[in-house]
Amino acid sequence: MLAILFVCSANQCRSPMAEVLFEALLEARGEREEWRVESAGVWAYGGASATTNAQLAMQARGLDLSGHASQPAERTLLKQFDVIVVMEGEHKSVLQSANPDLADRIFTIRELVGQPGDFNDPVGGSLEVYEAAASELDNLLDNSFSKVEELIE
């Protein structure tokens, strides 16, 4: 089974949205059963729900985040994944520093499509901000799919 972990700061906005968007992408490709997809947060505590606007933005796309529970990006979890996709350079630095043996598995989402920079956090933003973030995430995930497959093989 192929395994991908999406990581952001608190595991309440970006990474849970990326998780369900990637699952939908896999479903559309007929590959959902071949993958393990999860999300976590560098500074997350366990059990927090996705933000209301993250849930609403996904609901508008027919996706469900209502049962999401945050989890910290701890070493025992990280070791279980082939590719770890983070939202910011700081996430990458923190995880690589704490887990140097896993450094070659950790990539920023923009890095996967050859773009510099971070994927900004919509936390505290309006529903429109979240919907724009969801659209951009969806595009980045779609455009990075072949790169992710290449990294896992």
User: Catalytic site residue 110?
Assistant: no
* pLDDT (0 to 100) of residue 153: 79
Indicate which residue of 8, 13, 105, 110 is catalytic.
8
Q: How far, in Å, CA of 36 to CA of 153, rounded?
A: 15
User: Catalytic site residue 121?
Assistant: yes
Mean pLDDT of 36-63: 97
Indicate which residue of 13, 14, 105, 110 is catalytic.
14
Mean pLDDT of 44-57: 97
Q: How far, in Å, CA of 111 to CA of 43, rounded?
A: 22
Domain ranges of the chain: 2-145
Over residues 97-118, the pLDDT tens digits come to 999 999 999 999 999 999 999 9
Whether the pLDDT of residue 56 is over 90: the answer is yes
Domain covering 2-145 assigned CATH 3.30.70.270 in the classification:
no
User: Catalytic site residue 14?
Assistant: yes
Over residues 68-98, the pLDDT tens digits come to 999 999 999 999 999 999 999 999 999 999 9
Averaged pLDDT of the chain: 97
Contact assessment for residue 134 and residue 61, using Cβ atoms and an 8 Å cutoff: yes
Tell me which residue has tokens 């609901």: 59
- Of all residues in the chain, the percent with pLDDT exceeding 70 is 100
